[in-house]
Amino acid sequence: MGFSSFSSRLPSLYLVVIFLIGSSLVSANFYDEFDITWGDGRGKIINGDLLTLSLDKTSGSGFESRNEYMYGKIDMQLKLVPGNSAGTVTAYYLSSKGSNWDEIDFEFLGNLTGDPYTLHTNVFSQGKGNREQQFHLWFDPTADFHTYSILWNPKHIVFSVDGTPIREFKNAESIGVPFPKDQPMRIHSSLWNADDWATRGGLVKTDWTQAPFTASYRNFKAEACVVTSGKSSCSDSASSGSNPGWLSEDLDNTKQERLRWAQKNYMIYNYCSDSKRFPQGFPPECSMA
């Protein structure tokens, strides 16, 4: 997951999974929802409501969701590696499998103490990415937990931070741009060493005297269509006219204003503005920005 790595009609039978008490979403149990997939003990689930990933000179660590999702509104609270995190990357993303995979990325690029993290976002569809937008944040993401959200429905993909949209990737199939709509994706996260590129293009290396580096996760919430053995029941909701609101959710005027605010004040890179990278013209979806 490096810098460059990183339908209007639902497939039949998707299961809508919502964690509810009364009318309010509640946090899911990490033991039920995720598996630690690598790291030889460096990833830990604590009491079901906290998950930590650690990185040392030997290895990083990672986890993935047990469920596969085909559209959803997904929240996770993260507290990033504090102090001198230069060279480290905390990746949190949705991804399918195969050579023509789909992927929706949050990546947090560490930095020297006192310098801001870079929040890197990307969208892959049918194996093609190179749609990077990067941001600084308006708070210290290491001092406390903050909520990082992905809204993925047939209309668009929206990246949000503490409820403020920072990026919208619209469905541009009408002008020939593939959109993630056919491949169920799992949630993945990892903490790993990327000091060959992550901080100032690789100029600043990881200071292993600061290890272990640790990122923490809590309050996972999902309103989503979950694929089980290729089957689901979202279509049952569609046939009864009771689709969940997030499945057709747009950005209202207030959220559009917040999106413009975030991009004006905190975006530090946008592929749709990089004329040196695209001398023959910008990708077609940039015209819909």
Q: Tokens 């100029």 sit at which residue?
A: 203
User: Residue 81 and residue 172: Cα distance in Å, rounded?
Assistant: 36
Burial class (CB in 10 A: 0-12, 13-18, 19+), 164: middle
Determine the longest span between alpha carbons in the chain, in angstroms. Answer: 59
73 and 223 in contact (C-beta within 8 Å)?
A: yes
- End-to-end distance of the chain based on CA atoms, in angstroms? 25
Classify the phi-psi angles of 87: left when phi > 0, otherwise alpha if psi is within -120 to 50, otherwise beta.
left
What SS3 state is found at 210? Answer: helix
* Residues carrying an active site annotation: 103, 107
